[in-house]
Amino acid sequence: MSLSVLMLLEGHFPAMGGAERQVETLANALLDEGHHVTVLVPRADRAFAAGAGLQGCIPVWRINYPPIRMLGTLVLMVRLVWLLWRWRHRYDAIHVHIAHNMGAVACVVGRLLDKPVVVKFSGWWEQERGCLRPKGGIGAAAALWMLRQASAVQAISRRIAADLERVGFRPEQVHWLPNGVPMGRFERIERNDFGNTPPTIVFVGRLVPEKGLDTLLHAWAQAERPPGWRLRLVGGGDRGSELAALAARLGIAPSVDFPGASSTVDLELGRADVGVLPSRFEGLSNTLLEYMAAALPVIATRISGSEDLVAPGRNGWLCEVDEVEALSVALSEAMAMPASQRRSMGMFARSDVMAKASVPAVIAQLLPLYRGVVA
């Protein structure tokens, strides 16, 4: 039986952020399976008209509100409640993609209307700026109480799931369910037993402090690098020139590439032999999922999300955050390994992420939650 799902996103849509990309990915997949989806967002970008619109094939409804602090939030929440009530016969479930004010209101309204509400917690934002932040005051406490009224909670890592249980969510309410990665983007990547020329370790993401790229450059300088190996840092950000200067000071600039941001990530991953993610914190990195979907073995720090998917010795390496020596050893081992062995680890990475985080696997677990089956 087909379902009608409201995807609630307190942010810009469309946009390049992880939450926005995940909404678009899941909405398109659900539409392809014959379900009905409407994405409900605030009219944060005045370039878009209020009310009904389309993003590709996805119906979008933008709630208008005055761009005035406090008053705008109040108007937005009232209009959200009115829409959820007025449309109560048009949807079966609500999927909240950012656990903030709109999500909190939706949880209470869904409880009153006996509608399943699934709330996704991504970790960093909620813990640093949202309802889980330390010393959040009465506002954060009230939002947390309201979010606990959800019928189900999607935690994108096991570490986040444990954090949610510590703040009062019921264990049976919390489900470890990663973001879904569209595997089809990477199906054309073919790897041989001889590796790429030149052999390459790639990082894809923003060049910002939380990604730990200064640690990566120090580790690269210490690693035992066979001739010809390159480190490629793909992405834009406010630390690009600073990182390039650090590479020059460390004497590794000739082996490090800074190509800038790329709109063809699949091509970047196709020309790489190993993916590296030295982040200091994440909820669950979409880059990690894409590395694995592209059949790359992964060197990652032991943080939320990565520790759920990277299995040392099987599909990659894990090391502690900011430990230059441990990261250097992992880099050295990856480069010294025969290309055929790296290819084998990459195939395990792909099969592991397909089983746990491919879009069909994620939707198969979401559909019972949309139907209110939480056991």
Domains identified in the chain and CATH numbers: 4-180+358-370 (3.40.50.2000), 183-357 (3.40.50.2000)
Cα→Cα distances 323→192, 202, 223, 332, Å: 32, 19, 13, 14
Grouped pLDDT means (10 residues each) for the chain, 375 residues: 94 81 94 97 91 94 92 95 97 94 96 96 73 75 92 95 92 95 90 89 95 98 97 92 96 96 92 97 92 98 96 97 98 97 97 96 97 74
Three-class DSSP category at 178: coil
**What's the confidence (pLDDT) of residue 259?**
94
C-alpha 366 chain-centroid distance: 16
User: pTM to 2 decimals?
Assistant: 0.91
The DSSP code sequence of 80-134 is HHHHHHHTTTT-SEEEESS-SHHHHHHHHHHHHHT--EEEEE-SHHHHHTSTTST
**What's the confidence (pLDDT) of residue 165?**
93
**What's the confidence (pLDDT) of residue 137?**
77
CA angle 63, 67, 71 (to 5 degrees): 90
**What's the confidence (pLDDT) of residue 39?**
97
Q: Could you report the per-residue pLDDT of 213-240, keeping only the tens digit for each?
A: 999 999 999 999 999 999 999 999 888 8
How many other β-carbons are positioned within 10 Å of the β-carbon of residue 301? 28
Tokens linked to 357: 């985080």
Q: What's the one-letter identity of residue 213?
A: L
Question: Is residue 234 within 8 Å of residue 261, measured between CB atoms?
Answer: yes
Q: Measured between alpha carbons, how far apart are the two ends of the chain, in Å? A: 20
Tokens linked to 345: 């680890």
DSSP type of residue 280 = S
Three-class DSSP category at 13: coil
**What's the confidence (pLDDT) of residue 374?**
59
DSSP type of residue 49 = P
**What's the confidence (pLDDT) of residue 370?**
97
Three-class DSSP category at 157: coil
Tokens linked to 58: 């996805």
**What's the confidence (pLDDT) of residue 16?**
67
